[in-house]
Amino acid sequence: MWKILLEKINRSFDVLLSSTAIICGAMIFFIVISVCYDVGARYFFNAPTSWATETAAFILLILPFLVAAWVLKQNTHVRMDLIYDALRKRNKCILDALTSLLSILVCLILVWRGTLVTIDLFNQKTLTLTTMRVIQWPFMAVIPLGIFLFFIEYLRRLIRAISLLFSKNYG
């Protein structure tokens, strides 16, 4: 029963990560369209928009935090693998477990601090120091949310590494 529940949770989390990747792709598409529109409006009509550059900047701020866990799941994060590739399979597994554990600790600290900053911005009703003057806390809230997704993916990696280390047919 527990195994079935954990598999459903894992599948749901995979769907969530895939959804964030699709949303991030749509956000990039929006940036391209809005910046092209802004350039066209500026060049042909001498009427640049007041929102395109700032909106692109806000999106570029939140984008890495939303997509980071999906990138980790795909195992496409940048890493130095010169030494890693030279290790035996068991040592790779141990190194994966240790780096996942360290990353989990860092993620927990970042989620904690990011949440405190977000709550502070919410309570103070802080506005951005930009032309658009929008409420700042929703943009900051994406940081602990994205890092929390990152934390969960690192936790899954740690569990996989430990399971592999202690499996009977580990080769």
Question: 77-132, pLDDT tens digit by residue?
Answer: 887 888 888 889 889 999 999 999 999 999 999 999 999 999 999 999 988 887 88
pLDDT of 168 above 70: no
At 50 the pLDDT is 85
Side-chain half-sphere of 68: how many Cα atoms within 13 Å? 21
Alpha carbons 51 and 131: distance in angstroms, whole number: 8
DSSP state of 126: P
pLDDT per residue over 29-82, tens digit each?
A: 999 999 999 999 999 999 888 899 899 999 999 999 999 999 999 988 887 888
pTM for this prediction: 0.87
- Check if the beta carbon of residue 102 is closer than 8 Å to that of residue 154: no
Residue 140 token pair: 């900051």
- Check if the beta carbon of residue 162 is closer than 8 Å to that of residue 97: yes
Q: Residue 170: pLDDT band by 50, 70, 90 thresholds?
A: low
pLDDT of 171 above 60: no
At 169 the pLDDT is 61
Q: What angle do CA 51, 144, 29 make, to 5 degrees?
A: 35
At 103 the pLDDT is 97
- Check if the beta carbon of residue 148 is closer than 8 Å to that of residue 66: no
pLDDT per residue over 127-154, tens digit each?
A: 888 788 889 999 999 999 999 999 999 9
